[in-house]
Amino acid sequence: MTKAAQTQAPSPKQNCILASLPEADYQRLLPNLKLVPLPLGWTMSESGDHVKFLHFPTDGIVSLIYALEDGSSSEIALVGNEGMVGISIFMGGESMPSDTKVQSAGHAYRLDRQHMKREFALGGKLQHVSLLYTQALICQTSQTAVCNRHHSLDKQFCRWLLMSIDRLHSNDLVVTHELLASLLGTRRESITTTALALKKEGIIEYTRGHVTVLNRKKLEARACECYETVRLEYDRLLPKLAACQASSV
Q: Tens digit of pLDDT for each residue in 107-163?
A: 999 999 999 999 999 999 999 999 999 999 999 999 999 998 899 999 999 999 999
Has residue 40 got a pLDDT over 50?
yes
- Among 65-74, 190-199, 223-232, where is mean pLDDT lowest? 65-74
pLDDT for position 176: 86
pLDDT for position 189: 93
Has residue 249 got a pLDDT over 80?
no
CATH code, residues 153-223: 1.10.10.10
Has residue 2 got a pLDDT over 50?
no
Pick the CATH number of 3-150 from 3.40.50.1000, 3.40.50.1980, 2.60.120.10, 1.10.10.10: 2.60.120.10
Q: Cβ(68)–Cβ(61) under 8 Å?
A: no
Question: 109 — phi, psi (to 5°)?
Answer: -100, 130
Q: Cβ(35)–Cβ(107) under 8 Å?
A: yes
> What is the number of H-type helices and E-type strands within the chain?
12, 8
Share of the chain above pLDDT 70, in %: 94
Query: What are the tens digits of pLDDT across the range 53-106?
Result: 999 999 999 999 998 878 788 999 999 999 999 999 998 877 788 899 999 999
Query: What are the tens digits of pLDDT across the range 165-186?
Result: 999 999 999 988 888 888 888 9
Strands 73-79 and 204-207: unpaired
Q: Where are the domains of the chain?
A: 3-150, 153-223
pLDDT for position 100: 94
pLDDT, the chain, mean: 90
Residue 46: name the closest of 82, 70, 73 by CA.
73
- Among 98-102, 107-111, 196-200, 240-244, where is mean pLDDT lowest? 240-244
Same fold for the pair 3-150 and 153-223? no
